[in-house]
Amino acid sequence: MRIGMAGTGKMGSAIARRLATLGHEVTVWNRTRERAQPLLDAGMAWAATPRELLAQSEAVLTLLTNAQALDEVYLGRDGLLSPAAEGKLLIEMSTVPPAKQQEMARHAAAVGAAYVESPVGGSVGPAREGKLIAFVGGAEPDVARARPLLDQLCKRVEHVGPHGAGETMKLAVNLPLMVYWQTLGEALSLVQPLGLDPQRVIDILADSSGGPNMLKVRGGMIAEALAGKAPAQVTVDVATMRKDVRAMLEEARSHGRELPLTGETLRNFDRAAGRGLDGADCSQLPVWWLAEGGKAA
């Protein structure tokens, strides 16, 4: 199948590589070609614009930074949504507010495109292995059309409702994780006076009821960060975490709900960003909390 991939960040690149290993003809587009160069070196084709990407593909997947990026890629002068999109399958995998997916679905319907939202749970490793979890929103016929492709990328595909529902489920899945980063820093502040080796502390937490899957996967990286070693690469930056937490709070408010723990988490993430951590890896959050965030006034 001829598949286009718009957005070649860490996850977009991992998904593109997964599709290529399965025999699909993959064409990629990114705002900056340099970030896509490793994929081009691996034999994938390049599209100069999103519209050109659409012309070269039977289906296009997008995994973009934020809602503004969706506007640019879908609705811009050379965007995906033009009369040429009629009949094409568009699978949108970004994490954005649910209302944004509903808006984009209306634009897609106006030009006759099949639009499916499918934000995913999982990181680069599962993406390369086809072990993501898809939270899908959209019309049943369009989802049925997208499912064979999603099945190649995901170990589990959940169609949870109409457009916007997939994002709502993704935000709900991510919420405990966001709050956990804050509670991890607080837990570490309790044991800090013991003077234990960071790796030992993380191992103990990961092997206990206080250790979610995230800690088991990222524990080594967190322990290194606590020991003063900077991560080799940024996996998820604080700016992205703040964006997602804001979306959680906005969605809750739209339904008249309160998320007090999530609100406090965002306030602390904002404090960390104010200390220059916005572009830092998430593993730096507990380091910052121990250094200054959790100190009593």
**CA dist., res. 186 & res. 283, Å (int):** 14
Residue type, 108: A
For the purposes of burial, counting CB atoms within 10 Å of the CB of 295, is it exposed (0-12), middle (13-18) or buried (19 or more)? exposed
Q: Which residues, 6 or more positions from 273, have their beta carbon under 8 angstroms from its beta carbon?
A: 238, 239, 242
**CA dist., res. 8 & res. 47, Å (int):** 12
Q: Would residue 229 show up in a list of annotated catalytic residues for this protein?
A: no
Terminal Cα distance for the chain, rounded: 60
**CA dist., res. 15 & res. 23, Å (int):** 13
Catalytic residue among 100, 170, 216, 243: 170
Q: Which residues are catalytic?
A: 170
